[in-house]
A and B are shown apart, each in its own frame.
Chain A
């Protein structure tokens, strides 16, 4: 991979078998993403956005073609290596927040650092820093069921960026939020992107998110229909 490129897909194909038939979710996708990008996959439901995000996050494997993330070919990664890649280098943000319900806000954000084996003092500082970024340091002891949707998603963002990953994959991060919270969250992610040079890749069909993207890739029926600069700054 050349300097600054962290993702490259080559003739990427994903086919899901459905009984005797099959559904092609991605067809010959060729894309490259550089460090520090704030880009989004847009398109209607079923266009392959989440499938592509899952493959880039090493949660799924392509049927054909190649997906190279941070120099590692996802399709060739054994389970353990894929888990290590996610643990060390990739942060995830989900539409439904996916916070661990029995943990406090602090413990949720701390979770990826525990897996990394970080020392207690450093871990505590990193968690509190991440909660400061999302303005939730005062809710460290709260449990997810005591938070609003916007606060929950901010915790999820803190959890995704606490280990300072090279790449954050956000799947419809504002779908369950109102306009004000969506704006707040996008602003937070833009700040982190600028401060930490973290690459953000979104899957969205939310106009509020699209308005913040600096690069917009439109997928239609699993193919890249358009790859253009976005309106974001």
Chain B
């Protein structure tokens, strides 16, 4: 236990120099936790938003439905199978019918998806209530992005054209009853929401749906013939892949910060060994073995990591807590440029694993970086060291 005791004594004895090093290292340490926490928060918020607005507890897709292939929509509709209907009736699921269509706002042609949904549903955070109370012939709900693209506003009327189940084209006017604000682009861009009963009648698809969204935290029913269950893992995969892609940027920042911190430690250690060579010689003359001197310098270097954690905790905890509570604003609609559901304010999420993992990583790196120059002591001749020479 002599090495830790001497190392702590040396570090504390060095006074301001030690705390200055710790302060510099703590900046990298806190920034790493902050940046990773921000991405964790980002990740959690995107998942939460998509679950609330679109995915629920998972979706059943009618056979043949492929969200990436609009041509499948022509045939992707069916009356929900009995097990699904039971869940719908119990309020544990809600059906959505998807039909391709075109709107003509201001003389322009905009291909869209018409989505039929129960106005009274409460499983998804879509303000569908307006669809049931407007009294319009064909009430429609659009997101703010769709409204912007189409130049639409509440109470506007726009012509919609679609093809029904029999292959016949028809066109009518629909009325925008509400423009909803949502951060989930996937329920907004290029979509018009109608009451499902209206859309079923328009498309001649009585009682039919394309997907059935289940309630959050509900267990999937055993295999339903004609319908395939898409778990949240599957549904969120694309989004998580995008988030992961964004996280690569954070990892580069992470690596740069760690590299700078490591460089600072390496520089401190090299300077320390050079400046304290006479002290090293004295220690050897007093009977400290080379191995112990190497251990002492390595331990001192590693203590930089510990002190950085202490200093980082002092100023970092209040700062990180502030961001966790008040969030960090990126400006309005910045999330759209990311291509995923992201609110204007991000709330970092710091897990114990993140804090502990970063602490261990910083400690390991400082230890390794401290050991490398300390090895030089092993080759040091005590008589040269006593005279302040390096061999």
Contacts and interface: CB of A to CB of B under 8 A. Distances in A.
Interface of A: 54, 57, 59-60, 79-80, 83-88, 92, 94, 96, 98, 100-103, 107, 111-112, 114-115, 117, 159
B9 A83 contact: no
B282 A100 contact: yes
Nearest to A115: B287
Nearest to B290: A79
B9 A115 contact: no
B287 A59 contact: no
Contacts of B168: none
A119 to B, nearest CB: 13
Nearest to A84: B287
A59 B285 contact: yes
B290 A114 contact: no
A107 B2 CA distance: 13
Contacts of B285: 57, 59, 86, 92, 94, 98
Given A79-B290, A102-B10, A60 B2 contact: no
A59 B6 contact: no
From B6, B9, B279, B286, residue with most partner A Cβ within 10 Å: B286
Contacts of A112: 286-287
Contacts of A94: 282, 285, 386
Given A87-B288, A98-B386, A115-B288, 16 more contacts: A59-B284, A59-B382, A83-B284, A84-B287, A86-B285, A86-B287, A92-B285, A96-B278, A98-B278, A98-B279, A98-B282, A101-B13, A102-B9, A102-B10, A103-B9, A114-B5
Contacts of B284: 59, 83, 86
Contact of B9 (A84, A101, A107): A107
B289 interface: yes
Contact of B289 (A83, A88, A98): A83
Contacts of B9: 102-103, 107
A88 B288 CA distance: 11
Given A54-B383, A100-B282, A88 B287 contact: yes
Contact of B286 (A54, A92, A101, A102): A92
Contacts, number: 66
Nearest to A111: B286
Interface of A is mostly: helix
Contacts of A115: 2, 286-288
Interface string B283-310: 1111111110000000000000000000
Contacts of B386: 59, 94, 98
Given A59-B284, A100-B282, A101-B279, A79 B289 contact: yes
Interface of B: 2, 5-6, 9-10, 13-15, 278-279, 281-291, 381-383, 386
30 contacts: A59-B284, A59-B285, A59-B382, A59-B386, A60-B383, A79-B289, A80-B291, A83-B287, A83-B288, A85-B287, A86-B284, A86-B286, A87-B288, A92-B285, A94-B285, A94-B386, A98-B278, A98-B281, A100-B283, A101-B13, A101-B279, A102-B14, A102-B15, A107-B9, A111-B286, A114-B2, A114-B5, A115-B287, A115-B288, A117-B2
Contacts of A96: 278
Contacts of A80: 289, 291
B282 to A, nearest CB: 4
A11 B279 CA distance: 33
Contacts of A83: 284, 287-290
Contacts of B15: 102
A103 to B, nearest CB: 6
Lowest 6 CB-CB distances: which A-B pairs, in order?
A87-B287, A102-B13, A98-B282, A86-B287, A83-B289, A59-B382
A187 to B, nearest CB: 24
B295 to A, nearest CB: 13
A84 B286 CA distance: 9
A25 B249 CA distance: 63
A111 B14 CA distance: 17
B17 to A, nearest CB: 10
A86 B283 CA distance: 10
